[in-house]
């Protein structure tokens, strides 16, 4: 089984730069595999790869789909949601 969640991106720069790096690190700190994609596309890509996340070009205010598969799906999605919903200047304080 897997768990899906849709999250709206808050950081002003979108899923880019520090928010993107924090996001990818959070994915790799958890055991579940995570895939990410736009809500209007079926394709999902690896959320644990910086180049893949950069390729999304996800902007602030945009919704993205997260799909977690593994032993800590909910905890992983909670951590990623915290990263995606903090303004950029508070990212350093996010508990992932």
Partner 1 sequence: MTETLTQDRIETLAATDQITLDSAPADKRACIEYLLDLLVDAGRVENRETALEALLAREAETTTGVGMGIGIPHAQTDAVSEPSVAFTRSEEGVDFGSMDGEPARLIFMILVPESGADDHLSILSTLSRALMHDETRDGLYDAETPEDAQAVLKEAVA
- The answer to whether 29 and 68 have CB atoms below 8 angstroms apart is no
Question: Which tokens in the block code for residue 49?
Answer: 């790869």
Determine if 16 is a binding residue for partner 1 (CB under 8 A).
yes
To partner 1, the closest distance from the beta carbon of 1 in angstroms equals 28
30 catalytically annotated: no
Question: Which tokens in the block code for residue 39?
Answer: 């809500």
Measured distance CA(9)–CA(17) in Å, rounded: 13
- The answer to whether 35 and 46 have CB atoms below 8 angstroms apart is yes
Q: Which stretch binds partner 1 (CB under 8 A): 2-10, 45-53, 65-73, 74-82?
A: 45-53
To partner 1, the closest distance from the beta carbon of 75 in angstroms equals 21
Binding site for partner 1 (CB under 8 A): 13-14, 16-18, 20-21, 24-25, 28, 49-52, 54-57, 59
């Amino acid at each position: 089984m897997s768990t899906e969640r849709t999250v709206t991106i808050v950081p002003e720069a979108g899923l880019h730069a520090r928010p993107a790096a924090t996001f990818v690190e959070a994915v790799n700190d958890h055991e579940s595999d995570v895939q990410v994609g736009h809500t209007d596309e079926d394709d999902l890509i690896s959320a644990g790869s910086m180049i893949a996340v950069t390729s999304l070009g996800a902007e602030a205010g945009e919704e993205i789909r997260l799909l977690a598969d593994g032993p800590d799906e909910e905890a992983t999605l909670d951590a990623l949601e915290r990263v995606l919903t903090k303004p950029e200047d508070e990212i350093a304080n996010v508990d992932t």
